[in-house]
Homo-oligomer: A and B are copies of this chain.
Amino acid sequence: MKKLSIADIANHLNVSKSTVSFVLNGRAEEKRISKELVSRVEKFVKEVGYTPSPIARGLRTGKSNIIGLMVESISDPFFANIAKLIESRAYKKGYRILYCSTDNDTEKTRALIEVFRERNVDGYIISPPVGVEDEINALTKAGMPVVLFDRSLPNAGADSVEINNESSAFNATRLLIDQGFTNIAFITFSSLLTQMSGRLSGYKSAIEQEGLGVNVLEIDYNPDEDSMIQTVSNYLSENKHIDAVLFGAVQAGICGLKALTELNLKIPEDVAVISFDDHDVFKLFAPPITAISQPIEEIAGRIISLLLERLNPGQSHAVSQKIILNTEFKLRRSHVNKRFLRKAE
């Protein structure tokens, strides 16, 4: 049988939703609801076998069992996969997730925090843009559980889950250096966010340690992918000395593969490739692309654990917890220096 809501009952009896709610919560006398009306509500509820949903009950108890999840962009495969994992883990714990995308837009993010707040969510999971420290601190000060992920805000006092961006980029660059490449470019999105600046400085440290030249292309993110492919394509055409590329994000890597394909450049013979984040494209490309894989199952698990810790007020816990997870190399064939192999033989 179809589950009835308080609204359905109110509708059927032609009374207000709050009247029905007061009756079901034993507040009829307090609210001076007539005995006749109380018995009509109770009779109907008994007839239809209504049981209050956990969410409806939550609205009355002040707990909604809903968590607001704000990602940078839901069409980014990294965020879409993380969102899915967070959702299924939260669901097992009795929570439902509502998502939205911030597009890294500070004003939009502020407005969306307000949307969630007015909609009575129990907690927030946010990949924040720059500039929302005040809003996040206001939430945590109000006792709201907040977990940041993918990047952090230096002045926000919230829990966070991140990867070791700097050392991941350092190690990937090192891997290319050890293969004998000497003109290694870093192609990434221009961004002030901590995860992107961490990757950039990891790349630079490894390059400078060897006394090699720094070659950085920062693409302005553009929903029109063709223009980004063109930017990468122009850069590679104008810098023919580049013999290897580290891509700083999955969408940069995919644009890069499209640019390399268009330019008819062979991987790894003409240009070796490593990209941040793993993706089906990298697994299925010929040759398969070596990737810096984020532990997305563990990221999702840690986010939910931190949030649940905050949601159970009895539990003692730290002022804030910052969790840094390791990435894993998926070593495939795109980073191998074939000339170097031959020399070594």
Which residues in A have some Cβ–Cβ distance to B below 8 Å? 2-3, 5, 7-8, 11, 53, 55-56, 59, 66, 73-75, 77, 80-81, 83-84, 87-88, 91, 96-101, 108, 110-112, 114-115, 117-120, 134-135, 138, 142, 223, 254, 257-258, 261, 280-281, 283-286
Q: Is the Cβ of A101 less than 8 Å from the Cβ of B87?
A: yes
Q: Is the Cβ of A77 less than 8 Å from the Cβ of B74?
A: no
Q: Which of B3, B112, B281 contacts A281 (CB 8 A)?
A: B281
Set of chain B residues within 8 Å of A98, measured between Cβ atoms:
98-100, 115
Determine which residue in A88, A117, A257, A284 has the highest number of CB atoms from chain B within 10 A of its CB, and name it.
A284
Q: Is the Cβ of A84 less than 8 Å from the Cβ of B74?
A: yes
Set of chain B residues within 8 Å of A99, measured between Cβ atoms:
74, 98-100
What are 8 A-B interface contacts by the 8 Å CB criterion? A11-B142, A55-B111, A59-B118, A74-B84, A98-B99, A98-B100, A99-B99, A285-B285
Given contacts A87-B101, A281-B281, 8 further A-B contacts (CB under 8 A): A2-B110, A7-B117, A74-B83, A74-B99, A96-B111, A99-B99, A285-B285, A286-B286
Set of chain B residues within 8 Å of A280, measured between Cβ atoms:
254, 280-281
A134 to B119, CA, bound (A): 25
Q: Is the Cβ of B87 less than 8 Å from the Cβ of A80?
A: no
Nearest CB in chain B to that of A289: its residue? B284
Nearest CB in chain B to that of A261: its residue? B284
Q: Is the Cβ of A75 less than 8 Å from the Cβ of B81?
A: yes
Say how many copies of this protein the assembly contains. 2
Determine which residue in A74, A99, A286 has the highest number of CB atoms from chain B within 10 A of its CB, and name it.
A74
A81 to B223, CA, bound (A): 11
Set of chain B residues within 8 Å of A117, measured between Cβ atoms:
5, 7
A11 to B138, CA, bound (A): 11
Q: Is the Cβ of A134 less than 8 Å from the Cβ of B284?
A: no
Nearest CB in chain B to that of A2: its residue? B134
A2 to B106, CA, bound (A): 11
Known: A77-B77, A80-B74, A119-B119. A100 touches B96 (CB 8 A): yes
Set of chain B residues within 8 Å of A142, measured between Cβ atoms:
7, 11
Q: Is the Cβ of A74 less than 8 Å from the Cβ of B55?
A: no
A53 to chain B, nearest CB (A): 6
Nearest CB in chain B to that of A81: its residue? B75
A5 to B284, CA, bound (A): 49
A198 to B96, CA, bound (A): 32
Known: A2-B134, A99-B99, A135-B2. A111 touches B53 (CB 8 A): yes
